[in-house]
Amino acid sequence: MTDAQIEKRLAQQKRSQERARQRQLEKQRSPEYRAKQREKQRATAERQRAKALANKDKLVEKAKAQAETQRTRAIKRAKLNSNKPAARNKPIKSKGMAGKARTKSDMSLHDKLGQLGCICCINAGLIQPFSGSPVSIHHIRGRTTADAHKYVLPLCAWHHDTPVPQDSGVSSDIFPIHSKGSEGGRVRWEAVNGTQFLLLRQCLNMVCETGIIAEASDGNSGK
Ligand SMILES: [Zn+2]
Ligand SMILES: [Zn+2]
């Protein structure tokens, strides 16, 4: 094909394309065509709406089924748990003895005093503070008075409530504040170890809790 022939064919193609474009434009301008197009668009929109509705119903059905499953499981769990004791709602008691429930700050104080160790053994040079020796929390004013759980001392068993075995070779200055029989007793105990209230202030100072009790209070009604 010569260049001239190619150019001629190109021109023909362009003309025929232009004619087709004009026909298409005329068709699009005609009211019939426009009406048809609008109808098509409406139908498409309608189909999409119907589809969305169907899906919505399906989604609602699915959500309902899930909710029902969860409800059934929750009822099963509740039935199982009702057979168990409600551990979480149990009041906190100290060693199962009667008295006021401890608050969180009481428990925190008792933990700190427990870590300190027996204050009488510390003062007698028998143990170092915070050396890990086990103690009981002794209540200076009993367990039912106001702030009962703040008037407490960390005491080892021998300084608290257990007599030292006879012929054990342990100093006779170590004896329990809760005496049985004629041995020990609070008056002699305080004469040897110091008054409970002073010991309490010393303890609170050592665990950095000095603000917990009033300076002027005395805790010597000891039980
Ligand atoms: Zn002790
Ligand atoms: Zn006690």
- The rounded Å distance from CA 150 to ligand 2 centre is 13
Query: Domain extents for the chain?
Result: 3-82, 104-212
Q: What is the pTM of this model?
A: 0.54
Instruction: Give distance in angstroms: CA of 157 to centre of ligand 2.
Output: 9
**How many CB atoms are located within 10 Å of the residue 45 CB?**
10
CATH fold group of domain 104-212: Herpes Virus-1 (3.30.40)
Q: To 5 degrees, how large is the angle CA 162–CA 217–CA 202? A: 55
Ligand with the closest atom to the CA of 95: 2
Ion ligand 2 — residues with CB < 5 Å: 138
| Contacts (Cβ under 8 Å, ≥6 apart) of 107 | 92
Average pLDDT over residues 32-49: 90
Element (H, E) at 153: strand 152-155
Q: How is residue 51 written in tokens?
A: 């589809």
Strands (E), 104-159: 136-139, 152-155
CA of 169 to the centre of ligand 1 (A): 15
Q: How confident is the model at residue 219 (pLDDT cuts 50, 70, 90)?
A: very low
As a whole number of Å, the CA-based R_g of the chain is: 46
Among the bound ligands, the one closest to the CA of 196: 2
- Band (pLDDT 50/70/90 cuts) for residue 163 is confident
Find out whether 129 and 114 touch, Cβ atoms under 8 Å. Answer: no
Q: How confident is the model at residue 130 (pLDDT cuts 50, 70, 90)?
A: very high
DSSP letter at 96 equals T
